[in-house]
Amino acid sequence: MDGTLAILFLLTALIDMWVNHCGRGCVKPAVEIARHTLSVGSLIFDADSIGGEAYYRHDLPVSFGPFRPVVGISVDSLGDVWIGAGAVNEFRMPSGPGYAEFSFMPGWWMRSESGPHLGYPIEFRSGIEAGIYRNTGERIGLSLDHRSNGELSYPLPNPGLETVLIRVGR
């Protein structure tokens, strides 16, 4: 997978900003409810499942137009750690509990001795998530995240890493 998810994040956020936010200020700050999200899932490298991952993300209590700042950390079963900060853009269904979300988070990859070689310590994590909000305010979703260094390691390989995650947020 290449930078497709990151490009989708940017394009959908800019369209969302133009359609829904520019009438009152394209990136005007707005107060939000902070959200804590926990995820678990499968780590995929070179089309093979190589282990599991646990991921925590904190959505900050503010947004700037369609952009909501987030910070996150993940640890996988091989001992690798990724920590980053970026933004998400959520789309809620006009009626009903459904939502979709794109994210983009630059971060730092700390590889263990047994972890995959990704070519560079800076890894951009982009993702797409879909799910539902429950009546109690929690949300449950399925996510696909991709990590890549965006060719920063050139001429070294940039194999990328995917995770398929089940997410629960409150």
Looking at residues 50-76, what average pLDDT do you find? 96
Question: Is the preceding peptide bond at 69 cis, omega within 30 degrees of 0?
Answer: no
Question: Does 141 have pLDDT greater than 70?
Answer: yes
How would you class 11 by CB atoms within 10 Å of its CB: exposed for 0-12, middle for 13-18, buried for 19 or more?
exposed
pLDDT tens by residue, 86-113: 999 998 888 889 999 999 999 999 999 9
CB 30 within 8 A of CB 63: yes
Confidence of residue 2 (pLDDT cuts 50, 70, 90): low
Q: Which CATH number characterizes residue 14's domain?
A: 2.40.160.20
How many domains, in total, are found in the chain? 1
Greater confidence (158 vs 59) lies with 59
**CA atoms within 13 A of residue 106's CA, in its CB half-sphere:** 4
| Domain containing residue 100 | 4-169
User: Beta partners for 162?
Assistant: 44, 146
Give the residue among 133, 14, 103 at the shortest CA–CA distance from 65: 14
Q: Is the pLDDT of residue 28 over 60?
A: yes
Percent of the chain whose predicted confidence (pLDDT) is above 90: 65
CB atoms within 10 A of CB 22: 12
Identify the DSSP state of 131.
Answer: E
Mean pLDDT over 73-98 rounds to: 94
CB atoms within 10 A of CB 141: 21
Give the residue-averaged pLDDT of 58-69.
95
pTM beyond 0.95: no
Which two tokens mark 47?
A: 């089309």
Q: What is the pLDDT of residues 125-135, one digit of tens each?
A: 999 999 999 99
- The answer for residues whose C-beta is within 8 angstroms of residue 81's C-beta and 6 or more apart is 73, 74, 75, 109, 110
The structure tokens listed for 126 are 């982009």
Work out the mean pLDDT of the chain and round it to a whole number: 91
